[in-house]
């Protein structure tokens, strides 16, 4: 049993379990040697003991590591200890792709393209993944997708494996094509193809349900090719799939920068600043000022055009001033000049002076009124032009429907200003026009609020099934902001709302009547018309949940039935099927523990019987190995502990005896013979020895007896060479000598001044005298 804090090896300590499956458990570990956290997949006992599978895994993971692709999870390799076998790999802290189910198509494509690239690199290297699914694509802490858990010899997952793979056909690239299609399908729709009907997944005649309506047509066509039931109908290579994915991503419309309901409103000026207007010259000399005017509906004047107009108006104003001066000269100065040349009529002084003074005052008054009138008219026209432009934009946004009192007041003031202008009351007209400017500010600032209210009202009407009210609200919202995506979608939804509601009503009735399949079909039809229909989504979720509950109960029942029949493989398969439906169900872990316990008990009984059989055959080492393997499974088994205590010394004794018997020459050493005699005495003291031990004791005794009997050895020399036998003594010079030596190996050395020493190695065997040993120093130095 693996536990937190347990040492997997000298440098790896278990931190927490990340997941588990039929092939083993995945743990987060602390790497003391490298520092930091890593991930390891600890293989199940069955896989760890399968030498062929482990060798294949080691070879395959070495090839995966050699890929060096940035989107393939880095794997160190397969390691073993006395009790476990594990695969060491990098730790991906971001989870897996299952968390992206139901995300936007663009977001899914951006993580799918690197996976396609990784698969293409693997295929180019001759590797087939065999189990492509969202759970096997991990995310780094930075969100980089990493293809992991190459399948080895697995048949793949039931809902992501191809029909050929499920049928047991040899693995091929076409299987990965299908698995990649199933991955895309699951991320886009929220569940894998054919889920939860595993039988349909195996049937080559069955076609998966079409993807949701929001999936673009190009993506739907690609999914159809990838999920083709026949292998030859799928794409030939993953590089072409990667290119199609990139093209599909490029063709998607750019995502909206911000929801229109949350879009910030640009600041608008509190009032419009009006530049002082210039005067324009009269249309014709002597022509009176006209009171009629027209609302400016032409194109908006640019700043450059305004500057040019300002120059022209300034010039016009100068000309007007010059004209007024000329009129003054004609009416006032010229008569004086003429009068000086004429004789003066005799009239009373008072009568002459008074008319001239009145005429001069009237002329000055006429001159002042004329200039002011022209300037006031021009100022009113300037304000009116700006108001017209802003009001036109508001009218285009249907302000008449939402402008409120301010909009009514604007039109009232505008009508009054028109009346004043017709009456040549230009100053009064300008005053009324200037009152309109802040009212325009209020109406313009109200537009975002009204837009939000209409969007909210439209959403509420959709929720309550009021299609006409929803259409009216979203139509007005689009008038206020024509490019608003929320309003566009809402208007589209309101157009199909009645049809969607009819489908939902039918589906919910069928669901209550127990017609789950027909109800699900109608819910899907509703979603195809309105992808945001929450009642349809919730209805499908209920049906899926109910079907999943039924499938879960069925799998658990099959598992317990197989467990009662001691068919552990079928029981484990059934419980694993239940785990795929409800990964967090506590009863699954309990059932699997029961399988492990029963299997462990059965294995222990078999091993104990085998160990006892080895004991009866005096195969002490094999018996000891079996007892120890039992203790690895359960250290509390008393029979195994007693067996180890009983067989360990016998195994050691047997090994020592066999060493002497297979290498009898070692007995020729005095020290070895002494130890051998002790071993023989210990073996002879064992009560009720078996035939093997009896033979070993007898043979070793015979060898030791022979090894103690001296054997005559003849030596020949030249009576000059000094002869010495190591461990025997110096024999001096002689021509011929005989002595008795116990069996063993001896070194005879001859020395003579002026000659090279002579050395002879002799072996004295029991029972037979060796050939005479000649030892003479004859090689002069």
Q: Which residues does the annotation place in the binding site for ATP?
A: 41
Binding-site residue positions: 41
**Angle between helical axes of 238-251 and 105-124 (0-180°, round to 10):** 160
Give strand pairing partners of 732. 723
Comparing C-alpha atoms, which of 131, 157, 148, 154 is closest to residue 40? 148
Distance CA 110, CA 139 (A): 13
Sheet of strand 744-751, all strands in order from the earlier edge strand to the far edge: 729-732, 722-725, 744-751, 758-764
111 burial level (CB within 10 Å; 0-12, 13-18, 19+): buried
Distance CA 334, CA 326 (A): 10
Helices vs. strands in the chain: H and E counts, helices first: 24, 14
3-state SS record for 269-316: CCCCCCCCCCCCCCCCCCCCCCCCCCCCCCCCCCHHHHHHHHHHHHHH
Sheet of strand 773-774, all strands in order from the earlier edge strand to the far edge: 736-741, 711-716, 773-774
Distance CA 628, CA 617 (A): 18
Distance CA 694, CA 625 (A): 23
Distance CA 59, CA 50 (A): 14
- Establish whether the linkage from the previous residue to 196 is cis, with ω within 30° of 0: yes
Helix (H) or strand (E) holding 76: strand 75-80
What are residue 295's phi and psi, to 5 degrees? -65, 130
């Amino acid at each position: 049993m693996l536990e937190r804090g347990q040492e997997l090896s000298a440098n790896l300590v278990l931190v927490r379990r990340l997941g588990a499956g039929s092939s083993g458990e995945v743990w987060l570990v602390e790497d003391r040697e490298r520092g930091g956290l890593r991930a390891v997949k600890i293989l199940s006992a069955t896989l760890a003991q399968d030498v062929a599978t482990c060798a294949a895994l080691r070879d395959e993971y070495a090839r995966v590591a050699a890929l060096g692709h940035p989107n393939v999870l880095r794997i160190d390799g397969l390691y073993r200890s006395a009790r476990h076998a594990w695969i060491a790999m990098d730790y991906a802290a971001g989870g897996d792709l299952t968390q992206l189910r139901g995300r936007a198509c663009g977001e899914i494509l951006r993580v799918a393209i690197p996976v396609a690239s990784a698969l293409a690199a693997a295929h180019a290297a001759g590797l087939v993944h065999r189990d492509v699914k969202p759970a096997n694509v991990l995310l780094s802490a930075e969100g980089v997708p990493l293809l992991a858990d190459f399948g080895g010899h697995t048949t793949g997952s039931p809902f992501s494996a191809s029909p050929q793979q499920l049928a047991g056909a040899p693995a091929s690239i076409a299987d990965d094509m299908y698995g990649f299609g199933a991955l895309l399908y699951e991320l886009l729709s929220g569940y894998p193809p054919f889920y939860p009907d595993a039988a349909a997944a195996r049937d080559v005649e069955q076609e998966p349900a079409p993807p949701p309506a929001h999936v673009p047509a190009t993506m739907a066509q690609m999914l159809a090719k990838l999920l083709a039931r026949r292998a030859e109908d799928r794409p030939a290579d993953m590089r072409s799939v990667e290119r199609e994915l990139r093209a599909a991503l490029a063709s998607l419309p750019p995502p909206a920068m911000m929801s229109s309901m949350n879009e910030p409103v640009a600041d608008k000026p509190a009032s419009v600043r009006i530049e002082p207007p210039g005067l324009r010259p009269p249309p014709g000399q002597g022509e009176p000022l006209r009171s009629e005017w027209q609302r400016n509906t032409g194109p908006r004047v640019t700043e450059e055009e305004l500057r040019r107009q300002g120059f022209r108006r300034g010039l016009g104003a100068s000309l007007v001033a010059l004209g007024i001066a000329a009129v003054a000269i004609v009416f006032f100065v010229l008569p004086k000049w003429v009068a000086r040349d004429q004789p003066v009529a005799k009239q009373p002084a008072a009568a002459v002076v008074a008319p001239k003074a009145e005429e001069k005052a009237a002329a000055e008054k006429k001159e002042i009124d004329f200039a002011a009138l022209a300037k006031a008219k021009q100022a009113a026209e300037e304000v009116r032009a700006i108001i017209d432009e802003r009001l036109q934009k508001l009218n285009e946004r249907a302000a008449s429907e939402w402008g409120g009192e301010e909009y009514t007041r604007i039109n009232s003031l505008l009508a009054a200003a028109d009346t004043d202008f017709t009456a040549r009351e230009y100053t009064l007209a300008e005053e009324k026009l200037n009152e309109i400017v802040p009212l325009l500010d209020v109406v313009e600032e109200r537009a975002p609020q009204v837009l939000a209210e209409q969007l909210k009202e439209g959403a509420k009407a959709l929720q309550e099934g009021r299609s006409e009210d929803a259409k009216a609200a979203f139509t007005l919202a689009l008038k206020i902001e024509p490019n608003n995506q929320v309003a566009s979608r809402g208007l589209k939804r309101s157009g199909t709302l009645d049809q969607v509601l009819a489908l939902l009503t039918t589906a919910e009735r069928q669901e209550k009547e127990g017609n789950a399949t027909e109800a699900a079909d109608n819910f899907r039809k509703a979603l195809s018309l309105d992808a945001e229909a929450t009642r349809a989504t919730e209805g499908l979720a209920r049906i899926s949940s109910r079907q999943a509950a039924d499938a879960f109960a069925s799998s658990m029942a099959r598992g317990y039935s197989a467990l009662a029949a001691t068919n552990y493989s079928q029981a484990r398969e059934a419980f694993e099927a239940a785990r795929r439906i409800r990964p967090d169900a506590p009863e699954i872990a309990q059932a699997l523990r029961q399988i492990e316990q029963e299997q462990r008990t059965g294995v222990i009984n078999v091993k104990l019987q085998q160990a006892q059989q080895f004991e009866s055959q005096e195969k002490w080492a094999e018996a000891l190995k079996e007892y120890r393997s039992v203790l690895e499974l359960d250290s509390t088994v008393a029979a195994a502990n007693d067996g180890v205590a009983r067989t360990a010394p016998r195994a050691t004794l047997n090994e020592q005896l066999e060493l002497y018997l297979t290498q009898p020459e070692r007995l020729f050493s005095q020290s070895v013979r002494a130890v051998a005699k002790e071993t023989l005495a210990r073996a002879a003291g064992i009560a009720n020895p078996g035939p093997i031990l009896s033979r070993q004791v007898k043979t070793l005794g015979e060898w030791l007896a022979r090894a103690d009997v001296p054997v005559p050895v003849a030596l020949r020399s030249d009576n000059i060479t000094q002869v010495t036998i190591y461990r025997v003594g110096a024999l001096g010079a002689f021509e011929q000598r005989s002595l008795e030596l116990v069996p063993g190996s001896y070194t005879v050395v001859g020395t003579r001044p002026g000659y090279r020493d002579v050395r002879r190695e002799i072996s004295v065997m029991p029972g037979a005298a060796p050939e005479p040993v000649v030892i003479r120093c004859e090689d002069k130095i």
